[in-house]
Structure 1
Amino acid sequence: MTDQQPLPHKNFDPSTFRDKPVSFVRRSGRMTPAQERAWEELSPAYLIDVPRGPAATSVAEGATGDPEQIFGRKAPLVIEVGSGQGHAILHAAAEHPDTDFLAIEVFTAGLARTMIRAEKAGNTNLKLAEANAPEVLERFLPAGSASEVWVFFPDPWKKARHQKRRLVNEDFTRITERVLAPGGTLRLATDWEDYAEQMREVMDAAPAFERSFEGEWAPRFEGRILTAFEKKGSDLGRAIRDLSYRKA
């Protein structure tokens, strides 16, 4: 394994080291031998170095990263927040070799699976960051460096007392505005109806953004591959809601 802070206990509350709640609870867990090998062998090619703050996935104060140096070229940058096992961003990276893609995820096994698939596909325009995404967008990346930010099926935090942890809130609009270039796009999708409505309410109220769709919901983003997770939601009768906003 690369040199990193150990994963916290499953009951660890990462907000202990932060001034606001995070949208995840990072639980420890073993990777398979194949995933451990991938982490050892493929991390140098895919995983960017994000200096740590006090929490295991936090970003150190003053730490910055230049996408041109990270990818070795100047190209449009698309960021996926919470990339899971990488299905959506791997497909997009293969389809758009002239665009750079950054997957941000806190779950090590998901990142390892993404690396395995990226290496098999020969992706050279994909990098991964093991970090709390809002801190990467707010601190690490330069302002105006991204052409698009994707948030697909974030944790809905269904219980009312947990909804303060939902990722898409007023503060997230400020952070996303900072990292997006003028005219850049924020794409959202969820299969949880009340979260979709909250997302729309938050984004409609954000002065820096304007809708890039007409009607109640945006059409399904054609660039998002249909994953097993999305299909499962549809099979359970949940409506998949897309939203798309442009930085005004």
Structure 2
Amino acid sequence: MTAGQADALQRLWPKWGLDIDGSRALDLADLFGNDNPVVLEIGFGMGEATARMAAADPTTNILAVDVHTPGQGNLLNLADRNGLSNIRVGNGDAIILLREMLTPDSLDGLRVYFPDPWPKKRHHKRRLIQPDFLTLAATRLRPRAIVHCATDWEPYAEHMLDVLTAHPAFENTQADGGFAPRPDFRPLTRFEGQGLDKGHVVNDLLFRRVQHVDQPPAGA
């Protein structure tokens, strides 16, 4: 961690940081200080793309969650330097956040960009985009909210497409049922550029939460 990242964590965490401990249900309007739409981003790396998206759309709040401490400090530093008051940084397990701290229909979008692909077959069960995760996420997303995933690992892209297509809570925004062009609002990241230089193929998936989703039973 750089000195600037450490300083940003110390100065800004009380203001813009969130410890994901499952201790309470969040009031997102209170967390951000307004009633603007809230998008959850799971895994933001060093936060450059998150900061650029927040700057480009100041009327959308971004709740960005990661466990990488230098990245947390870097994103807080970027938010501070650029006056991005629509970012909050969460530290901890996104599953706990979704299950125990977010209320039904409280999110207007979900972004999962370049998650760990867990390429070995015996580790595939560790991949984030799985049916159970999508079932949980669906209960926290408003009807017609968008789930946007991106990966440069083609087998994982195919897995995501299969799982999302099969899930009754989501529908593909693409008429052909396939991958989506990279939307203008998702910046090209440094990591992504390096992958493209190596010949990697980046796939985006844009799925919409359908109108009616059964809520899981209490305690599920």
Q: Distance in 1 between matches of 2:58 and 2:161?
A: 31
Q: Matched residues in 2 for 1:133 and 1:87: separation? A: 20
Tell me the CA shift for residue 214 of structure 1.
2.7
Given that 2:116 and 2:127 are in contact with CA atoms closer than 8 Å, whether structure 1 keeps it comes out as yes
- The two structures have a TM-score, normalised by structure 1, of 0.81
Aligned residue in 1 for 2:79: 118
Calculate the TM-score normalised by the size of structure 2.
0.91
| Cα separation, 2, equivalents of 1:41 and 1:141 | 26
1:48: Cα distance to partner? Answer: 2.0
Q: Secondary structure at the residue paired with 2:133?
A: helix
What is the aligned partner in structure 1 of residue 56 from structure 2?
95
What is the distance in 1 between the residues matched to 2:3 and 2:59?
Answer: 33
Partner of 1:71: 32
Alignment-mate amino acid for residue 17 of structure 2: L
**Residue 224 of structure 1, aligned match among 176, 186, 190:** 186
- Kindly provide the amino acid, as one letter, of the partner of residue 186 in structure 2: R
* Larger RCO, structures 1/2 (Cα 8 Å, 6+ apart): 2
Give the superposed CA RMSD. Answer: 1.1
For residues 1-150 of structure 1, what are the structure 2 equivalents within 5 Å? 31-50=1-20, 52=21, 59-60=22-23, 63-150=24-111
Following TM superposition, by how much is the alpha carbon of 1:181 offset from its aligned partner in structure 2, in angstroms?
A: 0.3
2:19–2:92 CA contact under 8 A, matched in 1: no
User: Which string of whole-angstrom CA distances, capped at 9 and with x for unpartnered residues, describes residues 118-169 of structure 1?
Assistant: 1000111110100111221222111111111000000011111111111000
Aligned length: 209
Unaligned ranges ≥5, structure 2 = 211-220
Amino acid at match of 1:144: D
Structure 1 vs Structure 2: percent identity of aligned residues?
A: 38
Tell me if 1:157 matches 2:118.
yes
What's the offset of the Cα at 1:96? 1.1
Aligned-pair CA distance for 1:246: 0.4
Per-residue deviation, 1:38: 1.4
The 8 Å contact of residues 67 and 92 in structure 2, kept in 1 or not, is answered as yes
Cα deviations by residue, 1:21-50 (Å, 9 ceiling, x for unpaired) = xxxxxxxxxx22222211111112210243
Runs of 4+ in 1 over 4 A off after TM superposition: none
> What CA distance in whole angstroms lies between the structure 1 residues aligned with 2:141 and 2:50?
18
